[in-house]
Amino acid sequence: MKTVGILTSGGDAPGMNAAIRSVVRTSIFNKLKVMGIKQGYNGLLNGEVEEMNLSSVADIIHRGGTMLRSARCDEFTTEEGFNKALNVIEVFGIDGLIVLGGDGTFKGAKKLYDAGIPVICIPCTIDNDMGYTDYSIGFMTAVETAVDAIGKIRDTSTSHGRANVVEVMGRGCGDIALYSGLSGGAESIIVPEVDFDMDEVCRRVIQGRNRGKLHHIIVIAEGIGNAYEVSEEIEEKTGAETRVTILGHIQRGGSPTVFDRIMGSKMGNRAVELLIANKSGRALGIKCNEIIDISIDEAFKIKKEFDINMYNMTKILSI
Ligand code: F6P
């Protein structure tokens, strides 16, 4: 292993920069050359590759986004695009590749691995939707952002005595809604993993109002459907004036939490160590607070389990 390549792909996640910094510095410490690939698989097939040095990653550990930039790349899924990528890897003498991203990114990495390229994957997605790992980098920062927003919405909800529907991201996964809803003291949390009953949500609004509550926050995961329809139904059935806030991409940015910086640093470091030890085709993750690595194939097979106990607890705590 002489030259390591690194790229970030798919939706960016706070903490990616900490991981890039860790990969670059661990590689240089071990006398390896590091090539930064711009804009994910796009940069790989277009040859947007530059050597990185210690200073390339100065002043980034606390920054959101990814200094290597990111993209979703359809061309990489075509045979022609994929062959271009293989050619660029050869031209730049990349002996091992470290990819940061979510599910889609891992699929691309697996294809490269099957074509003989040593690859290590680091889970980075705010959605926390990968089953093989307890945690993916960026999740806690996104939750902190959502909780901050929910707190602000609660102020105005109280002033006006309204119900407020807050939609958070997460694709098909309800983790951001669950964690931010619990920490933000939401009265109801609606996630795609659990059937929900709008009558119960409305009953909670009425019960809250009857016992003098002025605010009412309903956190919904984007995967459940249309926030405006939820809001209309609440207004119709309870008579409470209702507003909708879709938090959107604000959840993807911002300075990473300490936890995301540390996870990025640890996983970046481990990824380089694995390549040096001639291990590849591995996905890094966290299980019971330990960094683990498993084969990418195995990682795909493990389905994400929603924490139903935590969800049921939030129902008790928000009565
Ligand atoms: O996967 C991260 C995520 O932010 C999802 O929560 C969301 O559904 C999606 O990406 C948005 O994608 P884009 O940035 O392409 O609009």
Using the Cα atoms of residue 86, residue 88, residue 90 and residue 95 in order, give the sign of their dihedral.
Answer: negative
- Predicted confidence (pLDDT) at residue 161 exceeds the cutoff of 90: yes
pLDDT digits 0-9 by tens, 17-36:
999 999 999 999 999 999 99
Residue ID of nearest Cα to ligand 1 atom 10 = 11
Instruction: Count Cβ atoms below 10 Å from residue 24 Cβ, excluding itself.
Output: 24
Residue among 2, 80, 8 nearest 252 (CA):
8
Q: What's the confidence (pLDDT) of residue 79?
A: 95
Q: What CATH class has 3-138+256-301?
A: alpha beta
pLDDT digits 0-9 by tens, 180-232:
999 999 999 999 999 999 999 999 999 999 999 999 999 999 999 999 999 99
Q: Is 221 in the pocket of ligand 1 (CB under 6 A)?
A: no
Give 170's pLDDT tier (boundaries 50, 70, 90).
very high
Q: What's the confidence (pLDDT) of residue 319?
A: 84
Q: How far apart are CA 239 and CA 180, in angstroms?
A: 26
Residue span(s) of the chain under CATH 3.40.50.450 come to 3-138+256-301
Average model confidence (pLDDT) across the chain: 97
Q: Is 136 in the pocket of ligand 1 (CB under 6 A)?
A: no
pLDDT digits 0-9 by tens, 57-68:
999 999 999 999
> First vs last Cα of the chain: how many Å apart?
57
Give 72's pLDDT tier (boundaries 50, 70, 90).
confident
- Burial bucket for residue 13 (CB in 10 Å: 0-12, 13-18, 19+): buried
Looking at 74, 114, 127, 199, which residue is catalytic? 127
Question: Mutate which of 74, 100, 167, 169 to test ligand 1's pocket (most atoms within 8 Å of Cβ)?
Answer: 169
Average pLDDT over residues 75-79: 93
Q: Is 127 in the pocket of ligand 1 (CB under 6 A)?
A: yes
Report the share of the chain in percent with pLDDT over 70. 100
CATH code at 140-252: 3.40.50.460
pLDDT digits 0-9 by tens, 90-103:
999 999 999 999 99
Question: Mutate which of 171, 178, 220 to test ligand 1's pocket (most atoms within 8 Å of Cβ)?
Answer: 171
Which atom of ligand 1 approaches the CA of 169 most closely? 6
Residue ID of nearest Cα to ligand 1 atom 8 = 171
Please give the angle made by the CA atoms of 192, 126 and 122, to the nearest 5 degrees: 120
pLDDT digits 0-9 by tens, 222-271:
999 999 999 999 999 999 999 999 999 999 999 999 999 999 999 999 99
pLDDT digits 0-9 by tens, 8-19:
999 999 999 999
Residue span(s) of the chain under CATH 3.40.50.460 come to 140-252
Catalytic-residue membership of 95? no
- Predicted confidence (pLDDT) at residue 6 exceeds the cutoff of 90: yes
Distance 129 CA to ligand 1 centre (A): 12
Residue 294, SS3?
Answer: strand
